[in-house]
Amino acid sequence: MIIADRKPLGEILEMIEPCNTLLILGCKGCVTVCNVGGQKEVEVLSSLLKIARKKEGKEIRIDEKAIERQCDPEYIDQVREMVGAYDAVMSIACGVGPQFLSEAYPKQKFFPGVNTTFMGGAVQHGVWEERCAGCGTCVIHFFDGMCPIARCSKSLLHGPCGGSDHGSCEINKDVVCIWDKIVRKKMENGRLSDLLEMKPFKDWRTARDGGPRRRIREDLT
């Protein structure tokens, strides 16, 4: 899923500084699962902002809502009656949400309430890790199910580099050296020879480097 972090409260307060009315709009997709942008977080953020503004002596009216998904026009359409009545709408979906909303409601001002960070999953309660870089050409089968593009700090196809230290990456002891894991798994399974082959130069056209991506499924259009 897509992982996000709530923006710092100070930054959000600065964004909404001129507003007297605000709608906080959550999303019941990924950001609900990673506890940052669902119904519950809409309510929490709303309370925090109201308290902060009251303290400043500038009370604000905030309405709260969460929709099924903000990456789908069908659901975006469900708030047609609401938007337009506020000085601003704050989406706490991933970065797709405020853009789909802006496209659907060009006259309304939208703010992003979260920083969208990566594609990953929860490795334990409250801890999420990156797993996919969305490069458009999956290669994890060459690396026993681990992606060096997303998980090696240098995206090396022939690691581990000289900075691999007791299973940790050179950039930080808390960052796993995925190449250490790949090598150990290959050795344990007698597949070391896989790592001696030269991997072709990666074609980054399928990644963001090829320009913004669009997918058309003729059978569905």
Partner 1 sequence: MMDTFKSGSRLEKVLRSGHFAFTGECGPPKGANVAHLKEKMAHLKDMVDAVNITDNQTAVVRMSSLAASAIMVGEGMEPNYQLVCRDRNRLAIMSDILGAYSLGIRNMLCLSGDHQKFGNFPEAKNVYDIDSMQLIAMVKKMRDEGRFINGEDIDVPPRLFIGAAANPFADPFEFRVHRLSAKINAGADFIQTQCIYNMDKFRKYMEMAVDMGLTENCYILAGITPLKSVRMAEYMAGQVPGMDVPVELIDRLKAAGKGNYAEEGIRIALEQIAEFREMKGVAGVHLMAIEWEHKVPEIAERAGMLPRPSL
Phi, psi (degrees; rounded to nearest 5) at 47: -60, -45
CA distances, 139 to each of 105, 145, 180, 212 (Å): 39, 9, 17, 21
For the bound state, the minimum distance from the C-beta of residue 189 to partner 1, rounded and expressed in Å, comes to 14
The tokens describing 26, both together, are: 């959550």
Binding site for partner 1 (CB under 8 A): 153-168, 170-172, 177, 180, 183-184, 187, 192, 195-196, 198-199, 201-202, 204
Partner residues linked to 90 by β-bridges? 24, 111
For the bound state, the minimum distance from the C-beta of residue 177 to partner 1, rounded and expressed in Å, comes to 7
Amino acid letter at 49? Answer: L
Q: Which is nearer to partner 1, 66 or 147 (CB)?
A: 147
Q: Which is nearer to partner 1, 58 or 191 (CB)?
A: 191
For the bound state, the minimum distance from the C-beta of residue 155 to partner 1, rounded and expressed in Å, comes to 5
CA distances, 15 to each of 87, 132, 211 (Å): 12, 31, 30
Q: Which is nearer to partner 1, 72 or 130 (CB)?
A: 130
Longest CA span, the chain: 68
Q: Which is nearer to partner 1, 18 or 200 (CB)?
A: 200
For the bound state, the minimum distance from the C-beta of residue 30 to partner 1, rounded and expressed in Å, comes to 25
